[in-house]
Amino acid sequence: MASTEKISAFPYPFVENNVYRYSNNAIPLNPPIAIEVTDSYIEELNLKRGLLKMHPKRCFHSEPHTMDAQWEALDLILNQLAEYYPEKFKLVTNGGHWIFNNLHKGEKQSFTFGDPTTLDREPLDFVGRHVQEDLILMMQRDGDLFLDAGQLCFPANWSLYFDAGMSFKEIHTPIPGFQSASLDERILQFLMRIEAGSPWWRKNWSLMAGNRLDTSLETFAEWGQARKKVTKENVGELVHLRVEVQKLFRLPKSNGILFTIHTHMLPLEQFIKHTPWLEQFSSILQELPDFIADYKGISLYREVVLEYLEKELEKR
Amino acid sequence: MFSYVEGKRKLLFCTDSEVDRNLYILVRQALDENVTFEFHILEEESEESFVNQWFHKQKMGAYLYISGKEDFVKRIKDVAMMAGFTEHDMQSLINGPVKKKLICCTCHGVNEVSDQTHVVCVHCGQELEVSDHYSRRLDAYLGYVTIK
């Protein structure tokens, strides 16, 4: 289950500001790559496929009208895998006949592009089994975006089954303060203006007790218990900084948006080795308003983390 | 609350109880403005065929007000829709508790709740907090597990 990575590859989520609030913190994505293959590729792929097998309703959902967008997502991702990781993936396209070779995993698949009968799964479900990212398709209509398809194995405490079909604002109603100053409306307007060929990305962070990637809402009763088990002895090892690298691509033909989420985790004891990170994170957590700490699930052990960070600061 | 809609050819009122006061003010206004209306108190479920005929013989421009307990309002609404009324041709008001569906976040099982803030899932036994997170696809609210 453990999936933590090297500190050098960890996407540090904070910018210059020592105060954290919800905001539209998306920036242009350069180079425009929707996916990233890391050292834990094989491990995470196996975990994903196991979850998809055991919990198909929890991990995949699609509305029938998303089929064209699903093929576009597959097209974009398979081409990028082959282009940016040529030693691991090969893609041969001969008209509509495609052969995708995952050399890293030792798997080969041929199919006819656009013909769902030539794949044994829906296109999004197929391509999601070859990348570490969770994949969400938001379809645009009636001046709004709707979560109409997704493959989601590593959610940060939300349910694809429950949220499927919802509009952007409906999905985000549980986030306290997200509606204030019409932040939800402004982000929605931003997303609807994303253009093909100009993708964006952002990082989102939280703390978690434990190191599970599969923190679905469905299993919260199990993994949420770890929040009560944080002590000053185990805090550095048990508590992890969890960062989602989220990327947004307009799909030009279907006008949908492909939203890829790559989840990274690092235990606090690794994270704090880098003194500037320790200093800044300590101030941010100190100042963080209760309503954000509550929503991020930090409140039960925030004090223990703060004491740990202060002790570490004194040692420097 | 109901609102009085101007310019309708005819108003139809129905309620499940003669002590229901929600419609009085509307009836008063219809009388004042000399608008044609019909008023029925429907206390028996067996009156459904009568309701069906009543709705079917209405012409364009008829506007319907339904007041009563949740089951009654749902039943009458269904009959009206079948007879060709749309959401734009009616208003309804529920007296008493409103039952809603709650989806258990753990097992996806459906529970029926009214005004409780916490329930135990009848399918898996998990204690759930009733939230206002609502799915139109499932016509249900989400029940969360809380860690205390």
pLDDT in tens, A110-123: 999 999 999 999 99
* pLDDT computed for residue A16 by the predictor: 85
Is B145–A165 a contact, with Cβ atoms under 8 angstroms apart?
no
Q: Which residues of A touch B108 (CB under 8 A)?
A: 57, 161, 218
- Evaluate whether ipTM surpasses 0.95: no
Residue B130's nearest CA partner among B138, B140, B139, B122 is B140
**How many angstroms away from the CA of B77 is the closest CA of chain A?**
25
Residue A89's nearest CA partner among A14, A97, A297, A80 is A80
Backbone φ, ψ for residue A284 (5° rounding): -65, -45
Q: Determine the Cα–Cα distance for residues A156 and A62; give it in Å rounded to an integer.
A: 20
Residue A17 confidence class, pLDDT cut points 50, 70, 90? confident
Considering A129, A186, A202, A242, which one is annotated as catalytic?
A202
Mutate to test the interface with B, among A55, A65, A162 (most CBs of B within 10 A): A162
B135 touches chain A (CB under 8 A): yes
- Please say if the pLDDT value at position B147 is more than 90: no
DSSP character string of chain A = ------GGG------S-SS-------EE-SS--S----TTHHHHHHHHHHHHHH-HHHHEEE-GGGHHHHHHHHHHHHHHHHHH-TTTEEEEEETTEEEEEETTTTEEEEEETT-GGGSSS-HHHHHHTTSSSEEEEEEEETTEEEEEEEE-SS-BS--HHHHTT-BHHHHHTTSTTTTGGGHHHHHHHHHHT--TT--EEEEEEEEEES--S-B-GGGHHHHGGGGGG--TTTHHHHEEEEEEEEEEEE-TTT--EEEEEEEEEEEHHHHTTSHHHHHHHHHHHHH--HHHHHHTT-GGGHHHHHHHHHHHHHH-
Span B93-100, average pLDDT: 89
Is A300–B136 a contact, with Cβ atoms under 8 angstroms apart?
no
Residue A210 confidence class, pLDDT cut points 50, 70, 90? very high
Is B136–A166 a contact, with Cβ atoms under 8 angstroms apart?
yes
Q: What is the 8-class DSSP label of residue B5?
A: P
SS3 B45: helix
Q: How far apart are the first and last CA of chain B?
A: 39
* pLDDT computed for residue A2 by the predictor: 46
Q: Determine the Cα–Cα distance for residues B89 and A50; give it in Å rounded to an integer.
A: 51
Half-sphere exposure of B50 (CA within 13 A, CB side): 9
Is B136–A164 a contact, with Cβ atoms under 8 angstroms apart?
no
* pLDDT computed for residue B97 by the predictor: 84
Q: How many CB pairs under 8 A join A and B?
A: 48
DSSP character string of A89-106 = EEEEEETTEEEEEETTTT
A250 in catalytic set: no
Neighbours of A64 (CB within 10 A): 8
Q: Determine the Cα–Cα distance for residues A258 and A123; give it in Å rounded to an integer.
A: 13
> Mean pLDDT over all residues of chain A?
96
Span B76-105, average pLDDT: 93
Quote the Cα angle for B137-B138-B140, to 5°: 125
Strand partners, A112: A97
Residue A4 confidence class, pLDDT cut points 50, 70, 90? low
Q: For domain B10-94, say whether CATH 1.10.10.1150 is its number.
A: no
Q: What percent of chain A has pLDDT over 70?
A: 98
- Please say if the pLDDT value at position A5 is more than 80: no
**How many angstroms away from the CA of B2 is the closest CA of chain A?**
27
Domain locations along chain B: 10-94, 100-144
- The residue among A250 and B18 whose pLDDT is bigger is A250
- The residue among A178 and A282 whose pLDDT is bigger is A282
B126 touches chain A (CB under 8 A): yes
Strand partners, A206: A242
